[in-house]
Amino acid sequence: MNLQILILKKDKIGSVGIFSSQSESLFAIFFNSESLKTSTSPRLIMKKLSRSKNESFEFRALLSIAKIGIILGSLNPAQATILIGGDILNGNLNAGNADGDTTDDNFQSTPDWVNVAGAQTMQCTRTNLTSPDSTRNAVLSLSGDRNFGSEFGPDGYTIKAGDEFDIQYEWRDAYNWNDALDNVTVTLFTTDDDTIEGNATPLVVDLSGLSTTNNTYETVNHDGVYIATADDAGKKLFLVFAGQAGEGGDTNGFARFDNLVVEVNPSSTVSLLITEIQYLPETSEVTLTWPKTNSSSYRVKYSTDLIDWSNELDDEVLSESDEKPGDPSQITVTFSLFEGIKNQKYLFFRVEE
């Protein structure tokens, strides 16, 4: 977990000797939270935001050196959410047998998966050629009429700007698969009507890579395959995995696929990072700027020790509170620091949806 802290320098830091300007300036400090817990000499990287992004300063210092002015910051621990995986939306492909066939299952009898390229009566999973966990697995075909689609559950998943997606699964070659040409593809996409049957717009087509060991399951673990943009925000997410024949290859090949995991690192862990901060000591006011999301309101919390985040500066900051409504990507709001916190030596802020 990383901390991003913004420090507002009220006076010159003569004891450090790196910054000598008498004027008030805004700096950023980055350090690892573990070093904060276990060491009195964390490594700090300070960067003057008003300078070039390529011009940074690095030094080792006792944390006490930073005891000047008021420290203003944000803490954003990244926590991935599993959208598909294991029993969640049948990511392990083990649910089924509704047709009474314990060997083969078609799409109709396989929960949470639909064939987006052919009939629902086509074969979907089998119990032979098992993956390392010795369970049912999906039968991929290169013929183009057996593509496994997911709507991410009855309510679906609505994309937020900044969402970062990770994909993991196991697969192996099978009958007539060309190890030198063929791939498994996992595609994330949206549609024009937010249904899986609509006209699709691919966000990313992620390839497995070629089979490296014949008749052996291999693990694909691709982090950050796609980061959602502002244009994606508000749309429903869909997924399809399938076999893809290489150029000039035979389309009569097969492969097996199992244990799909799709994770999202929500935009709140990225997009709610405070991007700009201004402090007016004469009025005890602080102005915070953070990227807009689909949320209609936000909660701003503060802490004096980066541990206790139970205190709220404002429990309902409405989107209408934006002081710069002309900025389509960020929201800016000014808060008054009330008695009891305005004279704190250390003061950190966090924005939540």
List pLDDT tens digits, range 223-251: 999 999 888 989 999 999 999 999 888 89
Neighbours of 327 (CB within 10 A): 13
232 and 124 within one domain: yes
Residue 162: its pLDDT value, please? 83
Evaluate whether 56 touches 32 at the Cβ level (below 8 Å): no
Per the listing, tokens 């998966």 go with 113
Domain containing residue 94: CATH number: 2.60.120.260
232 and 138 within one domain: yes
What are the two backbone dihedrals, phi and then psi, of residue 99, each rounded to the nearest 5 degrees? -90, 0
Alpha carbon distance 212, 169 (integer Å): 15
Domain end marker among 212, 240, 265: 265
Residue 311 binned pLDDT confidence (cut-offs 50, 70, 90): confident
Judge whether residue 271 has pLDDT over 60.
no
Per the listing, tokens 């047998």 go with 97
Domain end marker among 265, 300, 317: 265
Q: Does 161 or 236 have the greater pLDDT score?
A: 236
335 and 252 within one domain: no
Judge whether residue 63 has pLDDT over 80.
no
Residue 267: its pLDDT value, please? 56
220 and 139 within one domain: yes
Q: In the structure, how many helices (H) and strands (E) does the chain have?
A: 2, 23
102 and 55 within one domain: no
State the pTM of this model: 0.60
Compute CA distances 199 → 117, 151, 229, whole Å.
13, 14, 19
Judge whether residue 346 has pLDDT over 50.
yes
320 and 259 within one domain: no
Residue 26: its pLDDT value, please? 30
Tokens matching residue 324: 């710069």
Closest CA to 197 of 126, 114, 139: 114
Residue 44 binned pLDDT confidence (cut-offs 50, 70, 90): very low
Domain end marker among 265, 300, 327: 265
195 and 121 within one domain: yes
Judge whether residue 8 has pLDDT over 70.
no
User: Mapping DSSP to helix (H, G, I), strand (E, B) and coil, where does residue 18 land?
Assistant: coil
Encode 121-141: b = buried (16+ Cβ within 10 Å), e = exposed. ebbbbbbebebeeeebbbbbb
13 and 71 within one domain: yes
89 and 64 within one domain: no
Closest CA to 217 of 179, 257, 261: 257
Alpha carbon distance 193, 54 (integer Å): 43
Judge whether residue 57 has pLDDT over 50.
no
Tokens matching residue 176: 């007539």
Question: How far does Cα 18 stand from its chain's mean position?
Answer: 36
151 and 50 within one domain: no
* Strand-pair partners of 213: none
User: How many structural domains compose the chain?
Assistant: 2
Q: Does 134 or 99 have the greater pLDDT score?
A: 134
User: Among the listed ranges 176-185, 249-258, 264-273, which one has the minimum average pLDDT value?
Assistant: 264-273
Closest CA to 69 of 36, 113, 99, 24: 24
H-helix segments, the chain: 33-38, 268-271
Judge whether residue 280 has pLDDT over 70.
yes
Mean pLDDT of the chain: 77
User: Among the listed ranges 69-73, 111-115, 172-176, 210-214, which one has the minimum average pLDDT value?
Assistant: 69-73
Residue 100: its pLDDT value, please? 57
Encode 218-240: b = buried (16+ Cβ within 10 Å), e = exposed. bebebeebbbbeeebbebbbbbb
Residue 222 binned pLDDT confidence (cut-offs 50, 70, 90): very high
What's the chain's Rg over C-alpha atoms?
Answer: 26
280 and 134 within one domain: no
Farthest CA pair distance, the chain = 79
Residue 248: its pLDDT value, please? 84
Parent domain of 123? 82-265
What average pLDDT does the segment 339-349 reach? Answer: 82
Tokens matching residue 298: 């936000």
Judge whether residue 331 has pLDDT over 80.
yes
141 and 34 within one domain: no
Residue 249: its pLDDT value, please? 82
DSSP for residue 324: -
Residue 101: its pLDDT value, please? 63
